[in-house]
Amino acid sequence: MSEKGSRTAMRTVYCDHAATTRCHPEVARLVYEFLTEHYGNPSSIHAVGRRARKGVEEARAQVAALIGAQPGEIFFTSGGTEADNWALRGAMAANRAKGRHLIISPFEHHAVLDTAEALVREGYEVTLVDVEPGTGIIRPEALLAAMRPDTVLISIMAVNNEIGTVQDIAALCAAAKAKDPDVIFHTDAVQAAGYVPLDVKALGVDLLSISSHKIYGPKGVGALYVRKGFRFGPGLTTGGGQERKMRAGTENVPGIVGFGLAAEIAARELERRAAHAREMRDRFLRGVLAIEGVRLNGVDPFVHPELRHPGNANVSVDGIEGEALLLRLDMAGVYASSGSACTSGSLQPSHVLLAVGCSREEAQSSLRFSFGEENTAEDVDYAVEQFVKSVEFLRKLAAPGR
Ligand SMILES: *Cc1c(COP(=O)(O)O)cnc(C)c1O
């Protein structure tokens, strides 16, 4: 993304793909087509309505294919957040006869964490499963230890959005269901989709959340996979009979068709995208981990590449405030994130880093860089160079005269 020939234009390097991605140009074209030409309401009987309906149902098949589901098991939502909210509330509300207990991990996305907290205020009980310090890996034994006869739901994310830890959801789900075949298993797979192969049958999960804008699709649309054949309640809205009477409200047709195409491309490109992101991430880490006082948070991808999202890097820098470094990098055109995008701006240390045993200081001196499609080797080298310069600048500022 450099602009040769212009001395004023600054190179910009987007290293925040875990926060969101740029819409794929083919996807953007399709969204536009459905805004301007195929603008019908999918519930209308006439031709323009039928064309919109066809788009929605094609997208449902494309999204289903990305995760090995049946189209009838896919319910479109306004994004990953709504899918997570619905998963928790739909499962708990429909199974009160069994109990009021649910299990989550301590480093879930706020869409799960805050919903669980809200459920506690409504009289439900939540247990946070133990995680391995440093990596955040969850062992089946830890999950079994947290289960009770009245446990209705287990919700554990497939890939963490801050430190990129990949959980063995198939093993966790199998262990839980061996102990209690009726326990419902949900996984937030928003970060996994498009980078880690996902097959709901192989995973054995009942519910799975994904989001379009993390896989080069438009924002404001996502999906909840709901396996056929267990007790699960309708969505959060009351109104029309859309989404087989499970989620009221006129469908976001342009968003849904864009999500569908983005999912199809993601399935096709998964291996290449993962390999590219990994190459960029590893190049970046080799550069910044050479600096004194810079430490990696989470699984070491040079030892266990399969246990970390290929695009995720998260580092702490001794003696430096993450937010200050973030702002310096922003001025240099390098776009990263401190903690998760949703909590930056507030100076709360990341709940994810605290959950894996980081001190408050380490957590507050951390930054996340998440690499993806548009990053090049030159971009990464520029990001490393600016990282080095910014760290030197901030350290001088903190200790003048040294
Ligand atoms: C981004 C994200 C979400 C929220 O998805 P939205 O579509 O932005 O609402 C949920 N979970 C994880 C792990 C995410 O990274």
Question: In this structure, are 102 and 208 located in the same domain?
Answer: yes
Distance CA 210, CA 30 (A): 20
- Cα 225 to averaged position of ligand 1 atoms, centre (Å): 15
Ligand 1 atom nearest the C-alpha of 19 is 1
368 within ligand 1 shell (Cβ under 6 A): no
Within 137-239, strands assigned E span 151-155, 184-188, 207-211, 222-226
Contact 135, 122 (CB under 8 A): no
- Ligand 1 contact via 78 beta carbon (within 6 Å): no
**What average pLDDT does this structure show over 381-400?**
93
Q: Which residue from 53, 58, 55, 59 is spatially nearest to 33, judged by alpha carbons?
A: 55
pTM of structure: 0.96
**Distance of alpha carbon 287 from alpha carbon 332, whole angstroms:** 17
Q: Are 205 and 199 in contact (CB under 8 A)?
A: no
Pocket test for ligand 1, best of 81, 107, 114, 160 (most atoms within 8 A of CB): 81
Assess if residue 6 is contained within a domain: no
Q: Are residues 300 and 227 in the same domain?
A: no
Ligand 1 centroid, distance to 213 Cα (angstroms): 9
Round to the nearest angstrom and report the end-to-end CA distance of the chain.
36
What CATH number is attached to the domain comprising 131? 3.40.640.10
Whether 5 shows a pLDDT value over 60: the answer reads no
133-165 per-residue burial string, b: 16 or more CB within 10 A, e: under 16: ebbbbbbbebbeebbeeebbbbbbbbbbbbbbb
Instruction: Indicate if 254 and 291 belong to the same structural domain.
Output: no
**Residues 274, 260 share a domain:** no
Query: Does 365 lie in the same domain as 261?
Result: no
Give the phi and the psi of residue 104 in degrees, each rounded to 5. Answer: -135, 170
pLDDT in tens, 132-186: 999 999 999 999 999 999 999 999 999 999 999 999 999 999 999 999 999 999 9
Could you tell me the residue range of the domain that residue 132 belongs to?
Answer: 25-265
Report which ligand 1 atom has the smallest distance to the Cα of 214: 1
Q: Where are the alpha helices (DSSP H) in 95-220?
A: 110-121, 140-146, 169-179, 200-203
Catalytic pick among 15, 23, 173, 342: 342
Judged against a pLDDT cut of 80, whether residue 20 lies above it is answered with yes
Mean pLDDT, residues 285-299 taken together: 97
**Among candidate residues 236, 265, 294, the one where a domain is terminated:** 265
**Number of alpha carbons in the 13 Å side-chain half-sphere of residue 74:** 28
Query: If you measure from the C-alpha of residue 209 to the centroid of ligand 1, how many angstroms do you get, rounded to a whole number?
Result: 9
Query: Are the CB atoms for 192 and 80 separated by under 8 Å?
Result: no
Rounded to whole angstroms, the Cα distance separating 373 from 13 reads 11
Q: Residue 155: inside a domain, yes or no?
A: yes
Residue 332 lies in a domain: yes
DSSP symbol at 337: B
Q: Render the burial of 8-37: b for 16+ CB within 10 Å, e for the rest.
A: eeeeebbbbbbbebebbeebbebbeebeee
Ligand 1 atom closest to Cα of residue 82: 9
Q: Is 255 in the pocket of ligand 1 (CB under 6 A)?
A: no
Helix H or strand E segment including 213: none
Q: Which of 231, 265, 299 is the last residue in one of the domains?
A: 265
**From atom 6 of ligand 1, which residue's Cα is the shortest distance away?**
80
pLDDT of residue 8: 63
3 state DSSP class of 183: coil
Structure confidence by residue, pLDDT tens digits, 44-77:
999 999 999 999 999 999 999 999 999 999 999 9
User: Is the same domain home to 320 and 251?
Assistant: no
Residue 4: pLDDT band (50, 70, 90) is low
Q: Ligand 1 centre and the CA of 80: distance in Å?
A: 5
Centre of ligand 1 to C-alpha 112, Å, is: 10
Regarding the beta carbon of 186 and ligand 1, being less than 6 Å apart is answered: no
Same structural domain, 37 and 151: yes
Q: What is the mean pLDDT of residues 319-330?
A: 94
CA-nearest residue for atom 10, ligand 1, is 80
Residue 195 has pLDDT above 50, yes or no: yes
For 341-389, how does the pLDDT look when each residue is reduced to its tens digit (9 = 90+)? 445 555 688 999 999 999 999 999 999 999 999 999 999 999 999 999 9
Q: What are the pLDDT digits (tens) for 88-135? A: 999 999 999 999 999 999 999 999 999 999 999 999 999 999 999 999
Task: Name the residue among 187, 188, 183, 185 with its Cα closest to residue 151.
Answer: 183
Neighbouring CB atoms inside 10 A of 399's CB total 9
253 and 311 in a common domain: no
Q: What is the pLDDT of residues 206-233, one digit of tens each?
A: 999 999 999 999 999 999 999 999 999 9
Residue 5 lies in a domain: no
pLDDT the model gives residue 1: 47
Q: Please report the pLDDT score of residue 345 as a whole number.
A: 55
Domain-embedded: residue 316? yes
| 340 and 293 belong to one structural domain | yes
Q: Would you state the pLDDT for residue 7?
A: 60
165 in the same domain as 29 = yes
d(CA 70, CA 321): 47
For residue 302, the domain's CATH number is 3.90.1150.10
Return d(Cα 338, Cα 164) in angstroms, integer: 14
DSSP state for residue 71 in the 8-state scheme? G
- Residue 103: name the closest of 194, 191, 183 by CA: 183
pLDDT at 227: 98
**pLDDT surpassing 80 at residue 325:** yes
DSSP secondary-structure letter at 279?
H
What is the rounded CA–CA span in Å between residue 90 and residue 358? 34
Residues 297 and 254 occupy one common structural domain: no
Instruction: Single out the residue in 224, 246, 265 at which a domain terminates.
Output: 265
**Percent of the chain's residues with pLDDT above 90:** 93
**Distance from the CA of 82 to the center of ligand 1, in angstroms?**
9
Average pLDDT score over the chain: 95
**Which atom of ligand 1 approaches the CA of 111 most closely?**
10
Same domain for 231 and 361: no
Q: Among all chains, which residue has been given the structure tokens 């287990």? A: 154
Residue 292 has pLDDT above 90, yes or no: yes
How do 101-104 and 125-128 pair as beta strands? Answer: parallel
Rounded mean pLDDT, 5-21: 86
167 ligand 1 Cβ < 6 A: no
Per-residue model confidence (pLDDT) at position 398: 82
Q: Would you say residue 202 lies in a domain?
A: yes
Which residue's alpha carbon is nearest to atom 14 within ligand 1?
190
Question: With a 6 A CB cut-off, is 222 part of the ligand 1 pocket?
Answer: yes
State whether the beta carbon of 190 lies less than 6 angstroms from ligand 1: yes
Domain count, the chain: 2
Query: Is residue 308 exposed (0-12), middle (13-18) or buried (19+ Cβ within 10 Å)?
Result: buried
Which atom in ligand 1 lies closest to the alpha carbon of residue 79? 7
Q: Are strands 334-335 and 13-14 parallel, antiparallel or unpaired?
A: parallel
Identify whether 355 is part of a domain: yes
Could you tell me the distance, in angstroms and rounded to a whole number, from the CA of residue 231 to the centre of ligand 1?
Answer: 25
User: Which residue out of 214, 224, 340, 368 has the highest number of ligand 1 atoms within 8 Å of its CB and is therefore the one to mutate?
Assistant: 214
Ligand 1 proximity of 111 Cβ (cutoff 6 Å): yes
Q: Any catalytic annotation for residue 342?
A: yes
